[in-house]
Amino acid sequence: MARILGGITTSHIPSVGSAIANELFDDPYWKPFFDGYPKIHAWLDEHKPDLVINIYNDHGLGFFLDQMPTFAIGAAHECRNEDEGWGLPALDPFPGAPEVSWHIIESIVADEFDITSCQELAVDHGFVVPMQLFWPGAPANPDMPRAIPISANTVQHPIPTLKRALAFGRALRKALLSYPEDLKVVVLGTGGLSHQLDGERAGFINKEFDLYCLEHIVHDPDKLTEISRMELVEKAGAQGTEFLMWMMMRGALGGDVTEITRNYHIPISNTASGTLLLECAA
């Protein structure tokens, strides 16, 4: 059966993609951000997962406000990256795993989650930037695992509750563990932490709330389900709702996890950037 090795979180800001393209790894502005990744690279190099579940939110490339599924799962042979207007270079397609995708879709629907299944799905920076951060040179990195994109609605209200996001992750865990073939899997929770890009609170960052979430998601994620959707917007900002994707990732890891590394850095494009690597029990 498939084995879940662990979960990793990261911000997926478009300017990070630009910094990668321009090799600004040692730039004084960017270095504290990129310093959060070498330990993760070493861990991935040691464990070499076969499959990555990339939980992200689409920013208008695959879906838009007129058609925004709550949860969508890609089931294509490849994940295409297309130009989304940020000046980022479009990357070659990422290899998919449709047979695993359909297994996950069947299992999660049986657990009464309504899923949008996508046999074609263009992926934007929300998917691509984390792949570049964790597998430098992606998708050309020789250790690049096959990928399954899972898109969550963090934009068009009503968005999922944190409780629903955690439950989705637990259903995802059940689906993966029931897959009959041997696979080593890593799950990504992308986006966030606190940030607001528009309106009267543009530039809003809440470090105290971010650190609260970073602490509790490791050993007591259920505590975070007490935060309502409106409270999440209030405390994390309009775009800080992306934290629900971290909760989806955390649900997929099961109970006890070991924190391998953590990094928190602000400001990056008016976004509090958080990175965690959580390892599952053997």
Mean pLDDT computed over 39-55: 98
Res 203: pLDDT: 87
Mean pLDDT computed over 110-121: 94
Using CA atoms, how far apart are residues 261 and 8, in angstroms rounded to an integer? 10
* pLDDT of 60 higher than 80: no
* pLDDT of 65 higher than 80: no
Share the mean pLDDT of the chain: 94
Which of 106-110, 225-229, 242-246, 268-272 is predicted with the least confidence, judged by mean pLDDT? 268-272
Res 267: pLDDT: 73
Buried (b) or exposed (e) across 128-164, using 16+ Cβ within 10 A? Answer: bbbbbbbbeebbeeeebbbbbbbbbbbbeeebbbbbb
Cβ contact 194:238 at 8 Å: no
119-163 tens-digit pLDDT: 988 999 999 999 999 999 999 999 999 999 999 999 999 999 999
pLDDT band at 171 (very low <50, low <70, confident <90, very high): very high
Structure-block tokens of residue 77: 């042979």
Active site residues: 125, 195
**Percent of residues, the chain, with pLDDT higher than 90:** 84
78-90 tens-digit pLDDT: 999 987 777 778 8
* pLDDT of 47 higher than 90: yes
Res 214: pLDDT: 96
Mean pLDDT computed over 233-243: 95
Res 241: pLDDT: 95
**CATH says 2-280 is which class?**
alpha beta
Res 170: pLDDT: 98
Res 93: pLDDT: 95
Nearest alpha carbon to residue 170 among 231, 210, 113: 113
pLDDT band at 59 (very low <50, low <70, confident <90, very high): confident
24-42 tens-digit pLDDT: 999 999 999 999 999 999 9
* pLDDT of 268 higher than 80: no
Res 266: pLDDT: 87
Mean pLDDT computed over 221-240: 96
DSSP string, 133-180: HHSTTTTS-TTPPEEEEEEE-SSSSSPPPHHHHHHHHHHHHHHHHT-S
